[in-house]
Amino acid sequence: MSNVHAPVGVFDLFTVGIGPSSSHTVGPMKAAAAFAGALEQSGAIEHTATVRIEIFGSLAATGPGHGTFTAVLLGLTGARSDEITPEEVTSRLDEISRTGTVRLAGRQPISCRVEDFVLKPLTVHPRHPNALTFTASDSRGHELSTQTYLSIGGGFIVRDGADTAAATTPVPSAPHPFRTGAELLARCDDTGLSVSELMRANERASRTEAELRDGLRHIWEVMESSVHSAIGRTGVLPGGLGVRRRAAAWAARLADEDPHHDGEHWQQRVNLVALAVNEENASGGRVVTAPTNGAAGIVPAVLYYALHYTPAARTGGTGIRDSIVERFLLTAAAIGTLYKNNASISGAEVGCQGEVGSASSMAAAGLAEILGGTPRQVENAAEIAMEHNLGLTCDPIGGLVQVPCIERNAIGASKAINAARMALWGDGEHRVSLDQVIATMRDTGADMSHKYKETALGGLAVNVVEC
Ligand code: SF4
């Protein structure tokens, strides 16, 4: 298990990026951009003639399906995953492919093609299975700089050798720090704050109230725009598997149905949101990592449910709506930090339980908060959702984030809603704690064969014939 930690706040867990994978697309793009930026800062960029790129482990094994290699090319140009649009991705890659040239940090031209990348799928870095090494040299072949980066899940990257020991608290100077579920509950007991109020107070240590509220609303807006974009597309998803897009047809069908005379209406709406976000992700579109791209549909689907099918939502009004969005996301993020700091949200490290399981757990907690749950009921909801995702493997067919990923998000959202409802019918007392289930997820992931950890070497990836 990785010993890599990074600072975690709500805007670390929920970031805007492009699909299809936070660890295999967003992380590598950030790593390449960081390397190019460091060359620029040191002045070495002026002398750089070549950059050797070595890609290890899971990143090399499933790189083509995850867009890893093109993400690296884009990152070397200085592209930012939270800013670049899908249209810019296409045009920049077209230019690179046409010229065989990458402009390092947007300025220094070097010859660079995917065919030149050195792939080492069987070599696993001791700190994390997702690793890349960049080596810049001058025109005489003298090495100018070399650096390895680890893509540790959810779009987080860590420079190998960087001191991460200090980066273990939720938010710097947070007034109510917690690293475990037990500590979170103790802080809530001490202060009388709900989980979302406690998380809000921690976030306020590093930003104003207006910045926090604007940022949270922006996260929800991007989630909504992912849904709308997917609903506007038809045909099959890219990658060659021939997976049909369903969001547009489902949206049209739901529009024709009477919501008051169909008991399944809410379920189908939740399914639609989850599917739409993940279809958008699978097409390289813009989504919010929540906490990863592969699991990006669960939090928006359950938040959609909270905004439309809960007593709080029925009181109506923009203020209520914003309050639900903020409280939901803050609570979900509080739970996400526990997974990030005590286990992993990386499919390459612990399998899909770390991605879909963590997202389902976060969403369950968010919904329990909106349903009026106490901190113990919120913790219980998060625990139930993860307990029934334990052991979930990562076996994407063709290394593409499509099957089983897209439908799995809809199922993960349903589990989250059920977990929240079960927790609300209890009193918060329960046999298995969230900390115990997080530790179990971590240990199960450590025991899991590498075939089931984002390598596309086992499960559905080998038992379903690609054609
Ligand atoms: S199976 Fe799960 S962990 Fe693996 S790529 Fe799909 S969503 Fe991510």
> Rounded distance, CA 296 to CA 309, Å?
21
Of 74-88, 155-169, 219-233, 265-279, the range with the lowest mean pLDDT is 155-169
User: How many angstroms from the chain centroid is the CA of residue 306?
Assistant: 21
Cβ of 282 closer than 6 Å to ligand 1, yes or no, is: no
* Neighbour tally for 55: CB within 10 Å: 23
For the chain, the first-to-last Cα distance in angstroms comes to: 35
Distance 267 CA to ligand 1 centre (A): 22
Q: pLDDT value at position 466?
A: 60
Q: Can you tell me the distance from the alpha carbon of 80 to that of 189, in angstroms, rounded to the nearest whole number?
A: 41
Where does 5-155 show beta strands of DSSP type E? 15-18, 50-56, 101-104, 108-111, 118-120, 130-137, 143-153
Pairing of strands 118-120, 156-159: unpaired
* Closest among 199, 155, 159 to 9, alpha carbons compared: 199
The CA distance from 371 to 380, in Å, is 13
192 pLDDT above the threshold of 70: yes
* Beta carbon of 17 within 6 Å of any ligand 1 atom: no
Strand partners, 394: 453
How many CB atoms sit inside 10 A of residue 256's CB?
6
**28 within 8 A of 134, measured Cβ to Cβ:** no
Residues 132, 148: contact at Cβ < 8 Å? yes
Question: Average of pLDDT values for 93-116?
Answer: 94
Calpha distance 454→465 (Å, rounded): 18
- E strands in 198-291: 286-289
Q: Which atom of ligand 1 is nearest to the CA of 454?
A: 4
Q: Which atom of ligand 1 lies at the shortest distance from residue 292's CA?
A: 8
Query: Which residue would you say has higher pLDDT here, 260 or 2?
Result: 260
Q: What are phi and psi of 16, to 5 degrees?
A: -85, 135
Per-residue model confidence as pLDDT tens digits over 169-187: 445 689 999 999 999 999 9
pLDDT for position 371: 98
Q: What is the DSSP string of 395-425?
A: --GGG-S-TTHHHHHHHHHHHHHHHHHHHHT
Measuring from atom 4 of ligand 1, which residue has the nearest CA?
394
- The whole-number pLDDT of residue 362 equals 98
pLDDT of residue 465: 66
Residue 93 CA, ligand 1 centroid: distance in Å: 25
Q: Which among 24, 394, 400, 448 is the best mutation to test ligand 1's pocket, defined by most ligand atoms within 8 Å of the CB? A: 394
CB proximity list for 281: less than 8 A, separation 6 or greater: 19, 20, 226, 287, 293, 294, 296, 297, 401
Say which residues have a Cβ less than 8 Å from residue 95's Cβ, sequence separation at least 6: none
> CA-CA distance, 335 to 358, in Å (whole number)?
8
Specify the amino acid at residue 52: R
Whether the per-residue pLDDT at 167 is higher than 60: the answer is no
From the candidate CATH numbers 1.10.1060, 1.25.40, 1.20.1530, 1.10.4100, the one assigned to the domain spanning 175-463: 1.10.4100
Contact 96, 73 (CB under 8 A): yes
pLDDT over 50 at 408, yes or no: yes
CB 139 within 8 A of CB 120: no
- Which one, of 154, 144, 91, lies nearest residue 356 by Cα? 154
Question: Among the listed ranges 7-11, 100-104, 246-250, 414-418, which one has the minimum average pLDDT value?
Answer: 7-11
Provide the pLDDT confidence category of residue 73 given band limits of 50, 70 and 90.
Answer: very high
Distance separating alpha carbons of residues 382 and 363, to the nearest angstrom: 8
Same fold, 10-166 and 175-463: no
With a 6 A CB cut-off, is 19 part of the ligand 1 pocket?
no
Ligand 1 geometric centre to CA of 396 (Å): 6
* 240 C-alpha to ligand 1 centroid (Å): 18
From CA 50, how far away is CA 309, in angstroms rounded? 56
Ligand 1 atom at minimal distance to the Cα of residue 295:
7
Ligand 1 probe mutation, 24, 344, 346, 454, most atoms within 8 A of CB: 454
Q: Is the CB of 285 under 6 A from ligand 1?
A: no
In 121-219, at which residue ranges do the beta strands (DSSP E only) sit?
130-137, 143-153, 156-159
What pLDDT is stored for residue 162 in this prediction?
Answer: 72
Q: Ligand 1 atom 1: the closest Cα is on which residue?
A: 394
* Of the candidates 134, 82, 136, the residue with the CA atom closest to the CA atom of residue 108: 136
Mean pLDDT of the chain: 93
Say what the pLDDT of residue 272 is: 98
d(CA 257, CA 271): 15
Spatial distance between the Cα atoms of 378 and 187, rounded to a whole number of angstroms: 14
Q: Cis bond leading into 64, ω under 30°?
A: no
User: Is pLDDT of 263 > 90?
Assistant: no
With a 6 Å cutoff on the Cβ, whether 326 touches ligand 1 is no
Question: Is 0.85 topped by the overall pTM?
Answer: yes
The ranges assigned to domains in the chain are: 10-166, 175-463
State pLDDT tens for residues 116-149: 999 999 998 998 999 999 999 999 999 999 999 9
User: pLDDT tens digits, residue range 14-24?
Assistant: 999 998 999 99
* Share above pLDDT 90 across residues of the chain, in percent, rounded to a whole number: 84
- Indicate if the pLDDT at residue 456 is higher than 90: no
Query: What CATH number labels 10-166?
Result: 3.30.1330.90
Question: Which amino acid is located at 31 in the chain?
Answer: A
Which of 22, 275, 352 for mutating ligand 1's site (highest number of atoms within 8 Å of CB)? 352
